[in-house]
Amino acid sequence: MRLLPKLIILLSILIIVPWLAVQAATDADGDGLTDDDEINIFFTDPTVADTDGDGFSDGQEIAQEYSPRQAGKRLIEVDSDDDYLNDAWELIMETGLMDPDSDGDLYLDGTEVAAGFDPRNPKPVQLEKRIEVNLKEQRLTYFFDDKKLDSFLISGGIASLPTPKGEFKVMKKFPLKHYRGPGYDYPNTKWNLLFTIKQYGYYIHGAYWHNNFGRPMSHGCVNVAYKDMEHLYWWAQTNTEVLIY
């Protein structure tokens, strides 16, 4: 007697669940992003493969960390909802690309990340910030709540003036510094994070006088390209962990 209703339910599950899964995975414009993700995550046109018309498909741009919505711009350079959190970090943190206050606590996503709070939790939960410098690879990587926000080549100290290794913290942030000594003079250097003081202060800082990132160049500081340092400086706080190895 009751077999028929059960059979109908079973058949519905067997047909409807896979159908829903296929719908969710549909990529109507064949750009490598599903319709669902285009509508709900990337805010690109699910019917047009190249939303910003720059010759690269939406899927290619996301894979290369470029904005599919603003031609020629990297995701990290775009802030689609004007909440001070760039599109790259919104996707990493899984906050809303078009929602300036993802957790609805009246603080903007970017304001929360700058101050070290979780932008997805309306409770005032602090998340760990950590900067790691690998001197062998001459690479800096930084993490917010163990999510990698960025990673790029740097220039540490040359062999005779090595960058100090160990566990440090950002002691102070300086928007501008003047570095000078025997044979060098670099005024108006932007974005400086002091992390230890020995005979003199050691900083992670922007460098505009060379482009040899990936090779040791400095007198012991960590040189970073301006395009990378601007974002790191904005995000880093006093007491952010700095691990150099």
In the numeric block, the tokens 């690309």 are attached to 97
State the binding string over 22-41 for Ca ion (x if CB under 5 A, else -).
-----x-x-x-x--------
**Strand pairing category for 241-244 and 172-181:** unpaired
- Of the two residues 33 and 244, which places its CB atom closer to Ca ion in the complex? 33
Choose which of 62, 75, 76, 85 interacts with Ca ion (CB under 5 A): 85
Q: 36, 54, 99, 150: which one contacts Ca ion (CB under 5 A)? A: 54
Interaction between residue 45 and Ca ion (CB under 5 A):
no
Question: Site for Ca ion (CB under 5 A): which residue of 36, 77, 99, 105?
Answer: 105
Stretch that binds Ca ion, among 18-26, 52-60, 165-173, 175-183 (CB under 5 A): 52-60
The count of other CB atoms within 10 Å of the CB of residue 36 is 14
Whole-number Å distance between alpha carbons of 41 and 95: 9
Is the Cβ of residue 64 or residue 211 nearer to Ca ion in the bound state? Answer: 64
Residue among 128, 137, 129, 150 at smallest CA distance from 229: 150
With vertex at residue 52, the alpha carbon angle to CA 51 and CA 54, rounded to the nearest 5 degrees, is: 120
Give me the phi and psi of 210, to 5 degrees please.
Answer: -155, 170
Residues at the site binding Ca ion, with contacts judged by CB under 5 A = 27, 29, 31, 33, 50, 52, 54, 56, 79, 81, 83, 85, 101, 103, 105, 107
